[in-house]
Amino acid sequence: MSEVLERFLRYVKIDTESARDSETYPSTAKQLDLLRLLAEELRQIGLRDVIMDQYGYVTATLEATSSAPAPVIGFLAHVDTSPDFNGKDVRPRLVENYDGGDILLNAEENIVLSQQRFPDLLKYRGESLVTTDGTSLLGADDKAGIAEIMTALAHLAAHPEIPHGKIRVAFTPDEEVGAGVDHFDVAAFGADFAFTVDGGEIGELEIETFNAAGAKVTVRGRNVHPGTAKGVMLNALLIAMEYNALLPVFDRPEYTEKYEGFFHLTQMSGGVDAARMDYIIRDHDERNFEKRKALMQSAAEFLNRKYGEELVEVALKDQYYNMKKMIDPHPRILEVARAAYQAVGIEPRVIPVRGGTDGSRLSYMGLPTPNIFAGGHNMHGRYEFVPVRALEKASQVIVKICELAAAG
């Protein structure tokens, strides 16, 4: 078993699910279990300045082996898994020499990873895959990235003959709930540029993310006995449904791809007297992003005019922005990454992230941070899987980036 696979299988068994609307940082204390382990393993492989700060951030340094001037490169990955699906009691399965058919994840519950429903599986015929047992997510997002970084650092530490500049590493909590770098000290990290290792399938190289906002829509109704409700009752749930119907039907995640943005209703709750809906808003284009936010406000204003009362209120909060604007002025970063991919036999595919990474916010904090593939598919659910080859190749890419950046 390769080192990167062994690390990955160990890390995914540690429950690190984050939590929304938590008042603590990290949002769940259990994330610290993996962070403490990583700090200890960084010390064991020989890194210096290993620190776990009050927020749980783990940072460390691998000193340069090259005397030539070289940029300080950072690598980051997050330890938390998404609260959208169960992240406890993860039992990864290794499927060797995948035959191209369906994979039975759980016989008892008849949970099947179907190649018809998930055709990307067919790209990996004959390869080894890591899947779930159907009862949890896998956690490749982003424990694959963690395993790949740790394996690359261990290799570099064991082979000082490989020339490279100073390397910084950081493992962060709470990325999945939008708070991954809320307290991150970019100046103290001290990198000239960095990479998150938090992407999708093998070969992806990402310098663009969504612009992102969250919206909380609250609806005030008027509840009376239904037998005497005529002309009096205002059903907050029905008004909430009206509000949602005012948004474009095909601007939803299930109908969009590539550079198409969306509105995504993530939660709805309430009753006749009051209701609440939570949305996320996403678009790569800055102008379209602003239009989407304006439309959400306009829909509320329309309903308030219709009912003659201020019944609907929208609270918008920007979450992160498209990092392309911050990375484009630094073309050397992309040049080094492309060359590293090609050097290990991978053709880079520069595509937009249909999501965000910690790198989105770090780039606007003064640290240009594009994203390297980590290899996972179908993240945040029971059908998640990762090819072993992707784990191995991502680790090789990290090593090669360090080497090529030092070569000038």
Kindly report the CATH number assigned to the domain that includes residue 33. 3.40.630.10
Taking only the tens place, the pLDDT of each residue in 116-174 is 999 999 999 999 999 999 999 999 999 999 999 999 999 999 999 999 999 999 999 99
Which of these three, 319, 349, 364, is where a domain ends? 319
Residue 205 sits in the same domain as residue 231: no
Catalytic residue of the set 133, 174, 175, 208? 175
Residue 215 sits in the same domain as residue 297: yes
Helix or strand or coil: residue 31? Answer: helix
Which of these three, 267, 299, 319, is where a domain ends? 319
- Catalytic residue at 80? yes
Residue 60 sits in the same domain as residue 151: yes
* 392 touches 399 (CB < 8 A): no
Question: How many whole angstroms separate alpha carbon 96 and alpha carbon 128?
Answer: 4
Q: Find the domain containing 93 and state its range.
A: 3-209+322-407
Token readout for 134 is 């159907």
Residue 218 sits in the same domain as residue 232: yes
Residue 57 sits in the same domain as residue 187: yes
Residue 278 sits in the same domain as residue 390: no
Residue 183 sits in the same domain as residue 296: no
Catalytic residue of the set 15, 17, 41, 80? 80
Residue 200 sits in the same domain as residue 216: no
Residue 136 sits in the same domain as residue 13: yes
Residue 311 sits in the same domain as residue 234: yes
Per residue of the chain (408 residues), give pLDDT as tens: 899 999 999 999 999 999 988 999 999 999 999 999 999 999 999 999 999 999 999 999 999 999 889 999 999 999 999 999 999 999 999 999 999 999 999 999 999 999 999 999 999 999 999 999 999 999 999 999 999 999 999 999 999 999 999 999 999 999 999 899 999 999 999 999 999 999 789 999 999 999 999 999 999 999 999 999 999 999 999 999 999 999 999 999 999 999 999 999 999 999 999 999 999 999 999 999 999 999 999 999 999 999 999 999 999 999 999 999 999 999 999 999 999 999 999 999 999 988 888 999 999 999 999 999 999 999 999 999 999 999 999 999 999 999 999 987
Question: How many whole angstroms separate alpha carbon 141 and alpha carbon 143?
Answer: 6
* CATH number reported for the structural domain that contains residue 251 in this entry: 3.30.70.360
Question: How many whole angstroms separate alpha carbon 318 and alpha carbon 210?
Answer: 11
Domain count, the chain: 2
Taking only the tens place, the pLDDT of each residue in 13-28 is 999 999 988 999 999 9
Which of these three, 279, 301, 319, is where a domain ends? 319
DSSP string covering 47-70, please? Answer: -EEEEE-TT--EEEEE-----S--
Neighbours of 47 (CB within 10 A): 22
Q: What is the β-pairing status of strands 204-208 and 349-352? A: parallel
Residue 57 sits in the same domain as residue 162: yes
